[in-house]
Structure formats: C-alpha cells, structure tokens
Structure 1
C-alpha cells in the first residue's frame, strides 16, 4: 500500500479508537456519579428515615440512630476495597465495574422498598443495616476502579480524566441535594416522611441499573490487557509488602480531600445554622453554590495537571489551606463574609486538591497492583478523615469556639503538604509525558 493511502486509512482508525476511549471514560465516570448519589441520599433524608425505622419519644435519639446506620456504611468500606480491588487486579477492571454498580443499585432499591418499623418491627432496622453495609462494601471498589480504568485507558490525559471522575462524584452529591429540594417543594412534609424519600432511593437504583446496562459495552482497560501475563496473584499482599510508603503518601494526599469535603458536605451547613445562626434555607442554597464552584474549579485544575506537574497544583491547594484557613474562619466567625462567598471560596480552593488527587494516587502504583493501592489509600483516608472530621470539629467548637474549622483545616493541610512533598520521589508509575518540577 502506498504510504499516503496507509496514512489516509490510519487517521480515521485512530480517531475511532480515541472516540471509543473517551466513551469508556465517560461511562466509567458517570457510574461513579450514580453510585455516590445512592450512598449520599441516605444522609440527605436521614430525618425521614429516622421516623420510619427508629421511632422514639425523643426525635434527637431517633436521628442519632439513623446517623449511626449512615456511619455503618463506612465500616464495610475497607473490606470491600480489599476484596474488590484484589479481584480487579487479578481478573480485570471491567467485571468489578459491572458487579459494583449492579449490587449498589439493588441495595438502593431495596432500602427504598423496606417496610417501616410500624409494619415489620425490628426486622425493618435490621434489613436497613444489612443493605447499608452492602452499599458501603460495593462503593469501596467503585471510585478506585473508575480512577484505575480511566487513567489506564488515556494515560496521556491522565490528570484530566481522573478529574472527570471526581467531577462526576460531585455531580452525584449535587443531584442528591437537588432531589431533596425537589421532593420537599412538590410534596407535603408528611408525604415526604411517608413515601417521598423512597422515591429518591428507587430513582437512584433504577438509574444505576441503566448505568449497568450501558457499562456492559465496555471492554477491559488497554493497559491491563497489555500486562495480563504480569498480573499479581496476591495484589493486596504485594502492595502492602512492596509499596507501604506509597500507601502512607496516598492516605495523606487523599486525606486533605476527605477532610475538606466532609466540612463542605456535612459539617458547615450545621455550623452555619447552629453556631452562626444562619437560616437553614440560606445555608443549603450557599452549600450548593460551593459544590458547583468546586466542580468547576477541579475540572480546570485537572486540565492544568496535564500541562504542569499535578503535584504542584495539589501542593498549591494545601499551601493556601495552610496559610488561609485560620484567618478565613476568623472572618466567617465575625460575620464578615456572607455564606455564599464563604462556600464559593471553599469550593474554589478545594478544586486544587480534588482535581489532582485521582491522578496522584494512580501515579503511586504500577499497573499490576494499581487498583489495590488506590483502593487501600482511598478507603483508609475515607475511614480516618471523613469519619473523624465531624466529631473533631464539633468537639473543637465546644472547646475553642467558632474558629474551630480553621484550626482543624490548618492541621490537615500540614499533613497534605507533607504527603505532597514526597510525590516526586515516589510517583512516576503512570506512563505519560513527564514534567519538570
């Protein structure tokens, strides 16, 4: 064949291949959005669930029981991460993608269909706990699998596609809060308690089943196929033995993300209403602005990470949090910053670490144990930092007053910065164009 003819034939083939890869990235990312929606929607409707499954004379005691079940969803995540990641490194990413979204969807629909305590007594909360454990178990493999899959599919744009996964996660959280607003706007309060919250769960589960059907068209990631003959037989044991400091660095890199997001998603709305006496609707609206701002910021930072070293972007975010958190929250506590500006600033700065951490985790581990390494780092960071943030900040509020979130984030930023400083030495496992520091 003449060289010109060969080039003419190869160009459309290359374009088709790139189009297929981006389709894979989008499907992988959207699945994560749906699964985080399924997980978060429980917290959004915690008060309604409390009245259905934990009836008590004291509404606060009922709500505490409901939040206890919310926390249980995190208990099964480390085990889920270990099991699913090990299987993913041994048998491929695609099968874990399909299993996790199917199981999450079934669990979410199940929660929406469980009869309340008034109908089946103690079996109602027992079933709720079991389904919540299942949600946590299978969610533990979803984000690490998504990150692994997209980075291996388009390594030359690894920062951007990793950021796209996180962008879709944020979109799932935003969808859950918007679903709550829509149901409360269209139904009476009594109807939301009786059946409205169930609509949110069943909707999420059905959309998840649609995602499962779409994902059946996915092929195995290109890089995993290329290294099938070198896959690890015991990936979890291998990553613990050969890459322990990489896991520690990964926990630090993801920890600042988990702590900042726990503040944004969970702590700050209550902080505004109970400590600073801001009206609840205003706090909720401002929070949505913060989530939307962070989504836009993290995409820009992820795009930037394909042009300069992503560790520098992450480091910049940690430095801003380290230097700015205390003075920022002093202004917030003095009512010198309105809630919309407060959340917008937090969202913008949060984008620096949210937009880059997915790539940085993937870059710490080689292909044969990447899924396990990411899963272990992410789930340890989630259990430690997401789990303790509300408790620590609440305790600090009692001890030192309204500036507590600033002091807490200053300490967390130190951890994130130290972890970020070792990334150049420990990273470099994703094959792409390197950048000078």
Structure 2
C-alpha cells in the first residue's frame, strides 16, 4: 500500500476531509469516555465494576459533550451516500457495494471474536474462574453493540438512499415520529418492548441526515446551522430539565430510564444541536485540513479507526486484570475527593493508551487489508451468478447481525468455553465466511 504521505498528497481536492476528521474525533471521544466512566474494583473474588455516573452526579451533564455517537452516524450517512453514488456511477450494483462495505466491518470484528474466544479457552485451561472469564470477555466485547446497529444501517443504506432521493426530509421526520411513539409507549404506557424499535429508527434518522449533508440538500450556511444548534439544544434542555427524560446522555446501570439504549427524543434533540455546530465549523475545518500534517494525522487514525473502537475495551480489561493480579497500585474508584480520583485517572489513561497502541499495531493490519480487494482460493462458481450472490449477501449480513445480537445480549456471566455464547459466535463466523466467499466471486469476475 502507498505510504501515509503519498496517500495524503494524492487526496482529490474535492474530498470532504472534514468528515474524516469528525469520524476520527467521534471514535476517540467514545474511547476516552468509556475509559473514564467505567470503574473497576478488585478483591479476593476477582474483578467487578460500575459506572462512575452512579456516584458522580456532576458528571451527567458532561455526557452532553461526550455523547458523540450521533456524529458518527451522520458521518457514516455522508460517507455511505458518497460511496454508493460513486459506485453506481461506475456501473456497480448494490450487492457488490454491500460486499465491499462488509469487508471493512466484518474482517476486524472476526479477528476480535476469534481472539477473545481463544483467550477464554486458554484462561479456562489455566484454571481461571469461568465467571471471571465471562465478565472480562463481556467487558471487552462491549463495543460490538455499536457494530450490530451499524451493520443493519449499512445493509439498509441502498433502500434508505432511494427513499431520500424521492422523499427528502420526510424520511427522517417520519423516523423521528416513530421514535416519539416508542418513547410514549415507554413513558405513558410502561411498554418498554414497544420502544426497542428506536434502536433502528433513531440511528436511521441520524444516518439520513448524512445523506442530505452529502448531496447538498442540507446547506451549511449559518442561517440553517444556527437554528439547528440553538433549537436542538433548547429542546434537549426542555426534555431533560422540565420533561421526563434523564439529564445523562449515557445510560446509568440500574436507572429506570435512559437516553441511549434505546435512543430517545432527547438524544435526537442533542444530535440536532450537534449537527448545527458541525455545519458552522465545516469551512474552517476543511481549510485547516488542507495542510499536509493535520491531514496525514487524520488519514493515519482513520486507517485503523474501527480497530481502535473494537479493541479499546480489550485494552481496559487487560490492564485491569494485570493491575489486580499484581497489586502494584489500586484500581481507580471514585473516593470522597473526586478531584484526586480524576487526577489518579491520568496515569491509568496513559497505560491504557500504550496497551491499545500495541493492540492496534497488531490488529490494525487486518482493517487495512479489508480496504483492499483480496481473492480467495475457494470461490463457489454459483456465487458468480448475480441472484445467488445477492441472496448470499443478504444471508451473510443477517447471520452476522444475529450473531452480534446474541453476543450483545449476553451479560457478564459464564457462557461456555469461548466466554461468549457459542451459537452466537458460530453464527457470526458463518455469516462472515459467506460474505467473504461472495466477495471473492466479485473479485474473480472482475479479474
């Protein structure tokens, strides 16, 4: 592959570099947020933990600045719309685009699941308590909930993009209405099951905004950006301060109601304010990224951004286990003096960054290879037929999504030799294999 400097110099002038910057910043903020909010405790019975937001109420308003998953889905909508449009102009079909996207998402995830399973097997063989193994593997697999939703959104992108071209802003407005209906069912009728659709409706609505941003139907002029920023922030304040929604934009374990799982109208209001701010900063951001140094840094982070997201809680689990086993220094837990606790977190974060850097150095190559077409020695000839390849693509995505759903739904307990539900892991790996075979058929046909 070309070097970093060469990639930066070869970047087309029309590329929206600001979007790449936002993607990198969003994921890095998520990583730091998780590292700060998760508190681990140790003792004779092994590791345990809780959320710092449970005991630090002053941290809950700060989550308004740390909750940047809407930004990632907006950026994802922009990037997916640009990629799909470009693919169509070159004569490519929807299935091939989906297969290309799957390589960038599924390969790094496969590496994580296989590694976690192997580590669980080794730990069990070494005599580690199975309950502790399950807890640590669960902790390391927390980022997979995001990938589960994003895979569904990517699979629906061709359909939703067609709806965007036909109906424009009516699509996200209808999705927001469905989110509102889910919230009403939860708050007024105590029917939380009816709110589960918000996991899809809310993130699809935010993703649709990225479509409008990409094709210019959402102008970035201040006359549009300022009302979005002010109006979204005002609605979020009303819903949380005067309304029934919690202030925290990150779920607090044990709380009866949260804004993230599933997403609520309050989170969408915050997303609207974030959109206004991003549009206001767009021109200045693009100007700064015309410089070679900052743009090279953005390219470097984005080349391994999914690896950073997937492995950051594995780094946390490794450091927590090592510290607990060695007893060299106490695990971070909020004391009465919160300032001292925050300062104690600084060396903790430094160690986590070093461990994550080592993991990215090892596994980041897999993500980079996912961006380059690769051929498999084993490619069923039947998958060269468009209809069968389309079916394989759908089944492969479905198997991966269902597998990740099984993993995400598993709690911190003993789930067998792999530390995670065996059937869920097997389902994901089967879907990944099917997608790889279908993708190889595309490469074979092109060759």
Tell me if both proteins adopt one fold, taking TM over 0.5 as the criterion.
Answer: no
TM-score (norm 2): 0.32
TM-score (norm 1): 0.33
Q: Which has the higher contact order (CA 8 A, sep 6+)?
A: 2
